[in-house]
């Protein structure tokens, strides 16, 4: 079974995920952009029971009522996203992985919040909101 690790910029928080991610994407939504202070955020998803912090304990906050995000209180690195509608899943910021290049995105989501000057041109499927199930 594939195992990946990652963590925050300062190294105080480390995590491990097992198996293949269930989703890889680039998100354009306003809340992800604001939290990361970046034009887009790349995510990958895992079943929650295959993800664990192995060093340190992150701080958490709710960016909206159904969403819980974690980050490093020392360096500010954003790490995870959990939505109450999907309690068995956790999203991990792709670029917090030790080897983020191993997990290219499969699609772009939430282009309804897109910044006009952000363009990838990679030919991946794009969705105005979330990717419909089965696509």
Dump pLDDT digits (tens) for 31-57: 999 999 899 999 999 999 999 999 999
pLDDT mean over 4-18: 98
Q: With contact defined as beta carbons under 8 Å apart, do 1 and 20 qualify?
A: no
- DSSP states of 72-111: -TTT--EEEEEETT-TTEEEEEGGGBS-GGGS--S-EE-G
Work out the burial of residue 97: count CB atoms within 10 Å of its CB; fewer than 13 is exposed, 13-18 middle, 19 or more buried.
buried
Q: Which residue(s) pair with 42 in the sheet?
A: 26
| Domain ranges for the chain | 3-113
Q: Taking the mean position of all CA atoms in its chain, how far away is CA 118?
A: 19
pTM above 0.95, yes or no: no
The CATH number of the domain covering residues in 3-113: 2.170.150.70
pLDDT for the residue 133: 65
Give the pLDDT confidence score for residue 114 in this predicted structure. 87
Q: What's the pLDDT score for residue 101?
A: 95
111 φ, ψ (degrees, to nearest 5): -65, -10
Q: How many residues appear in the chain?
A: 135
- Exposed, middle or buried: residue 108 (CB in 10 Å: 0-12, 13-18, 19+)? buried
pLDDT, residue 104, reads 95
% of the chain beyond a pLDDT of 70: 97
Residue 134 pLDDT > 60, yes or no? Answer: no
């Amino acid at each position: 079974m594939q195992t990946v690790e990652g963590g925050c910029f300062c190294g105080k928080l480390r995590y491990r995920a097992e198996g293949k991610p269930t989703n890889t994407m680039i998100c354009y939504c306003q809340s992800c952009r604001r939290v990361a202070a970046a034009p887009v955020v790349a995510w990958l998803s895992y079943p929650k029971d295959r993800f664990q912090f192995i060093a340190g304990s992150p701080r958490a906050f709710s960016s909206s009522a159904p969403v819980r995000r974690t980050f490093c209180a020392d360096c500010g690195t954003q790490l995870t996203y959990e939505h109450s509608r999907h309690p068995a899943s956790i999203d991990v910021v792709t670029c917090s992985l030790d080897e983020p290049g191993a997990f290219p995105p499969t699609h772009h989501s939430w282009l309804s919040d897109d910044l006009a000057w952000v363009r990838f041109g990679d030919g991946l499927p794009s969705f105005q909101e979330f990717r419909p199930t089965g696509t």
